[in-house]
């Protein structure tokens, strides 16, 4: 830790210290309830949640993590020495140990030694295997090292995510601001659509608008498709020039302090084939049906049931590729959504009651492979906040097919 760098932090932090203290207290309570003595946190989004740490390269051998005890707010951050500056300028990291480049076994030895020095060697410890970083084999090696030292080790990958599901008032305020950034960026992209513009240029405009509005890099690479690519799923922008008559599909996540809001709209460069307009006009009411049918305390799965019924009642099932949603919050690329879904998922955590502070998206994605002029599909996505009185839609943009 370089204190002189800490003293030079002169940019706004995501949250005040009290917010992070409250989060760690919730985690300690959860650890105690599960009879854990401590946890070594390696999931990138969870590290950000607990400390504000923001780093771009979580690779498969990266054992960056936070060691937290159930009986104390004292924490120990463990990271590679190249991140000395990041750690030193993250105010919520108060005690850190750095390791040199070398074999994973050396890092594990450092972690197990620190666990022992904190009196946790013989305790019941939680680790997080279900993550994209580090690789599960690396966590298995860490677990073996901790067990060799006398600890009982149990996976608790989603313990913190369960806490993160309900947002605090400060998180809600930040995500509302993120939603405004999303609308502004989408409007900038809409206004830029013209014959000859490349899909990649549109993405540049999106990112530039978000950055200019105070946001950060998106939670996931943006999905942009035009003409025959307008029905694309999980495909990034290409160097394709937009043509008159094309549909243009734009799906991205605005981000602020790694908190993201998902927004998707479809545009038509010139008047579309009326079948596209009819499809999107009929589908647009799905969001209104969900808002009208959901109250605090209802099942998260009820959102999907209402949306599914709307799709069927309005004759949209034939074209519906996906109708569902995911919990939103902190996202560190390449991951972008939580494990909680609006519909049952094999291996998922199951249903949850909708409580004030929960934020999730809902997608209406349509594929049309009947050679309608202009494209191969169309879609919209909105994000919701559950409040004390019901669901708030976080975008103010229309969901119909938008003609530019």
The predicted model gives 256-270 an average pLDDT of 97
pLDDT at 186 over 90: yes
- Based on the domain organization, do 147 and 170 belong to the same domain? no
Q: Give me the pLDDT at residue 132, please.
A: 86
- Based on the domain organization, do 155 and 229 belong to the same domain? no
- Based on the domain organization, do 88 and 137 belong to the same domain? yes
Q: Give me the pLDDT at residue 24, please.
A: 98
The predicted model gives 286-297 an average pLDDT of 98
pLDDT at 197 over 90: yes
Per-residue HEC secondary structure of 314-339 comes to CCCHHHEEEEECEECCECCCCCCCCC
User: Total domain count for the chain?
Assistant: 2
CATH number for position 273: 3.90.230.10
Q: Give me the pLDDT at residue 334, please.
A: 87
- Based on the domain organization, do 236 and 148 belong to the same domain? no
pLDDT in tens, 69-124: 999 999 999 999 999 999 999 999 999 999 998 899 999 999 999 999 999 999 99
**The domain containing residue 111 runs over which residues?**
3-163
Give the dihedral sign, CA 264/261/53/72: negative
Domain limit, last residue, from 129, 163, 197: 163
Domain limit, last residue, from 105, 140, 163: 163
3-state SS assignment for residue 67: strand
The predicted model gives 5-31 an average pLDDT of 97
pLDDT at 347 over 90: no
Buried/exposed code over 362-396 (b: 16+ C-beta within 10 A; e: otherwise) = bbbbbbbeeebebbbbbbbbbbbbbeeebbebbbe
Q: Give me the pLDDT at residue 372, please.
A: 98
Domain limit, last residue, from 123, 144, 163: 163
3-state SS assignment for residue 137: helix
- Based on the domain organization, do 141 and 196 belong to the same domain? no
Distance CA 142, CA 109 (A): 9
Q: Give me the pLDDT at residue 101, please.
A: 87
The helix (H) or strand (E) run that includes residue 270 is none
Q: Give me the pLDDT at residue 215, please.
A: 96
Predicted confidence band at 288 (pLDDT cuts at 50, 70, 90)? Answer: very high
Both tokens of residue 136? 């599960």
The predicted model gives 313-335 an average pLDDT of 95
- Based on the domain organization, do 157 and 175 belong to the same domain? no
- Based on the domain organization, do 326 and 339 belong to the same domain? yes
pLDDT in tens, 214-231: 999 998 999 999 999 999
CATH number for position 91: 3.40.350.10
pLDDT in tens, 229-261: 999 999 999 999 999 999 999 999 999 999 999
3-state SS assignment for residue 124: strand
- Based on the domain organization, do 100 and 205 belong to the same domain? no
Q: Give me the pLDDT at residue 158, please.
A: 95
Report which of residues 133 and 48 the model is more confident about. Answer: 48
How far does CA 309 lie from the centroid of its chain?
27
pLDDT in tens, 142-169: 999 999 999 999 999 999 999 999 999 9
Alpha helix (H) ranges present in 89-198? 104-117, 136-148, 159-164, 169-192
Residue 172 neighbours by CB under 8 Å, 6+ apart? 357, 359, 385
pLDDT at 356 over 90: yes
What percent of the chain is modeled with pLDDT above 70? 100
If you average pLDDT over every residue of the chain, what do you get? 96
- Based on the domain organization, do 91 and 205 belong to the same domain? no
Q: Give me the pLDDT at residue 7, please.
A: 96
Predicted confidence band at 30 (pLDDT cuts at 50, 70, 90)? Answer: very high
pLDDT at 360 over 90: yes
- Based on the domain organization, do 333 and 252 belong to the same domain? yes
pLDDT at 335 over 90: no
pLDDT in tens, 48-58: 999 999 999 99
- Based on the domain organization, do 229 and 197 belong to the same domain? yes
The predicted model gives 272-279 an average pLDDT of 98
The predicted model gives 313-337 an average pLDDT of 95
- Based on the domain organization, do 232 and 262 belong to the same domain? yes
């Amino acid at each position: 830790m370089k204190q002189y760098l800490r003293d030079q932090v002169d940019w706004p932090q995501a949250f005040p210290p009290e917010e992070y203290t409250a989060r760690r207290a919730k985690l300690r309570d959860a650890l105690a309830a599960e009879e854990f003595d401590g946890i070594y946190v390696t999931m990138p989004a969870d590290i950000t949640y607990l400390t504000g740490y923001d780093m771009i390269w979580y690779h498969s051998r990266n054992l960056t993590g936070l060691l937290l005890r159930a009986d104390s707010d004292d924490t120990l951050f463990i990271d590679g020495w190249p991140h000395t500056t990041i750690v030193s300028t993250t105010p919520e990291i108060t005690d850190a140990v750095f390791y040199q480049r070398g074999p994973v076994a050396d890092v594990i030895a450092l972690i197990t030694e620190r666990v022992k020095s904190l009196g946790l060697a013989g305790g019941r410890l939680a680790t997080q295997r279900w993550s994209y970083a580090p690789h599960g084999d690396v966590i298995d090696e860490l677990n073996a090292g901790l067990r060799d030292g006398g600890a009982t080790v149990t996976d608790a990958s989603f313990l913190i995510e369960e806490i993160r599901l309900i947002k605090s008032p400060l998180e809600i305020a930040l995500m509302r601001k993120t939603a405004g950034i999303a609308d502004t960026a989408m409007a900038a992209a809409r206004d830029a659509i013209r014959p000859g513009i490349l899909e990649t240029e549109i993405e540049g405009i999106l990112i530039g608008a978000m950055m200019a509005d105070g946001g950060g890099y998106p939670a996931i690479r943006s999905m942009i498709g035009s003409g025959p690519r307008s029905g694309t799923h999980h495909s990034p922008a290409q160097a394709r020039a937009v043509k008159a008559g094309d549909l243009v599909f734009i799906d991205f996540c605005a981000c602020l302090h790694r908190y993201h809001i998902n927004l998707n709209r479809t545009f038509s460069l010139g008047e579309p084939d009326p079948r596209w307009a009819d499809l999107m006009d009929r589908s647009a009411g799905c969001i209104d049906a969900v808002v009208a049918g959901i109250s605090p305390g209802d099942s998260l799965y009820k959102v999907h049931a209402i949306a599914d019924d709307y799709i069927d009642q309005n004759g949209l099932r034939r074209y519906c590729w996906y109708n569902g949603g995911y919990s939103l919050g902190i996202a560190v690329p390449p991951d972008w959504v939580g494990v909680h879904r609006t519909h049952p998922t094999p291996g998922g955590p199951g249903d949850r009651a909708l409580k004030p502070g929960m934020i999730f998206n809902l997608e209406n994605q349509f594929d049309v492979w009947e050679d309608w002029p202009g494209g191969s599909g169309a879609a919209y996505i909105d994000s919701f906040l559950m409040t004390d009185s019901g669901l708030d839609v976080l975008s103010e943009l229309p969901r119909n097919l938008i003609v530019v």
